[in-house]
Amino acid sequence: MPSLDEFAANVARSRLVSAEALDRALEALAAGAGPEGDAAGRLAQGLIASGSLTAYQARKLLTGVTRGFFLGGCRVLRPLGEGGTSLVFLAAAADGRQVAIKVLPPSRAAEEARALDRFRREVDLSQRVRHPNVARTLGVGTEDGVNFMIMEYVPGQSLYHAVKARGPLGVVAAARFFVKVLDGLDAAHAAGLIHRDIKPTNLMMTPDGEAKVLDLGLARALGEDSLPRPEGVVVGTLDYISPEQIDDPSAADRRSDLYSLGCTLYFALAGRPPFEGGDLVNKIYKQRFEEADPLDRANPAVPAALAALVRKLMAKAPMDRHQTARALRADLVRWADPARAGARRDDPEPAHSTDAEGDVAAEFLAEGTAEAPAAPALAPRAHGDRRRQKETRRLIRIAVILAALATLAALAVALLT
């Protein structure tokens, strides 16, 4: 813990607190009682109580950090999250608006040369999409060697956290939410971008009932070369990645995003990913070759026709899926109308959280489930088709095992000779 004088000097150097406000806090501290050794901590608490500092800022100042609190004219308030190579902070713009700032620390840029290239690419791609259901990039810059972009701050709760806190969404609620997601995704596709990382943590539920698609960090532009991929690295999130993206990230197209959206819709309605558990190899195998448990078995409240729609989205061959976000929207929007879908409006509402973010989730989750409207085009597959696919999967497993045994045998021969 620094001395009182050291901490007060740190506060002054940071430019976070005006000289007048710091003097008032010091006078209030002198008038109060408390152990001298804890004076710096008590001053920090006073500045937090008065709104002059956030708890995050005070902790940094107590450790001697006096720089990095301002970027692009915005005042950094607190951390929001961390990605593979970047950090995201909540900040206040000069006009008082709250924004999010994504930062690539100089140390990470130096450790991994590709990190800066990826960050700059994300900056470029994120400015190509302008749609209410896609988080906006407001500005970019570099200060003192720190690369950053200023983004729209999206309050609320991610789909992942909403489902983990309160359980699966009702059919109507899920349809309404994902129709808005599809509007944003369609805008990204129209701008020539493939997201490549659609998943529950990248979809936000806002307090006004909107959906926001986040994070273009892994996106690629159609017709442009992707950044080189190190050998053995998977681009995407294994619980939601399409089979073709596992094999070749540059081959991912609009239908790859729709596969990931299908896995995400499965999560929203079942409360778990379609291929839960297992190690990296197991997940890759399942995404490539296996089918998930039927959604209406994972959650009996899901109508069979909607489960069939999700199954179509998760088809292993891209040509067997919906071909565009707009086409999928046309099939999904019918489930968003409670009257048309036959939703039960008398279902009890879940208990509401006392915080605003919890209320957002409750608003979505309070929607009832739906009866199944007819959907002949998405009728469940015949029993014979399932039996043939099961046999195909068995043969694939045998082939994989034989290939592995052949590799081991070759290694053994090499060692013996």
- Alpha helices, H only, 253-382: 254-270, 280-289, 295-298, 304-313, 325-332, 338-341, 356-365
Q: What strands lie across the sheet with 211-213, from one edge to the other?
A: 157-158, 203-205, 211-213
Query: How far apart are the C-alpha atoms of 172 and 367, rounded to whole Å?
Result: 6
Query: How far apart are the C-alpha atoms of 8 and 42, rounded to whole Å?
Result: 11
Which residues are 71's β-sheet partners? 74
Q: Are 313 and 321 in contact (CB under 8 A)?
A: yes
Among 197, 215, 257, 296, the active-site one is 197
Q: Are 178 and 309 in contact (CB under 8 A)?
A: no
197 included as an active-site residue: yes
Strand blocks (E) in 165-315: 193-194, 203-205, 211-213, 220-221
Q: How many CB atoms lie within 10 A of CB 64?
A: 10
Sign of CA dihedral 135, 137, 138, 141: positive
Helix (H) or strand (E) holding 142: strand 137-143
Which residues are 76's β-sheet partners? 91
Query: How far apart are the C-alpha atoms of 120 and 115, rounded to whole Å?
Result: 9
Q: Are 215 and 83 in contact (CB under 8 A)?
A: yes
Block residue for tokens 């197209």: 253
Which residues are 216's β-sheet partners? none
Q: Is 344 exposed, middle or buried (0-12, 13-18, 19+ CB in 10 A)?
A: middle
N- to C-terminal Cα separation, the chain:
64
In this structure, what token pair is assigned to residue 119? 């960050």
Query: How far apart are the C-alpha atoms of 417 and 411, rounded to whole Å?
Result: 10
Q: Are 128 and 222 in contact (CB under 8 A)?
A: no
Q: How many CB atoms lie within 10 A of CB 127?
A: 16
Q: Which of 54, 84, 82 is nearest to 69 (CA)?
A: 54
State the catalytic residues: 197
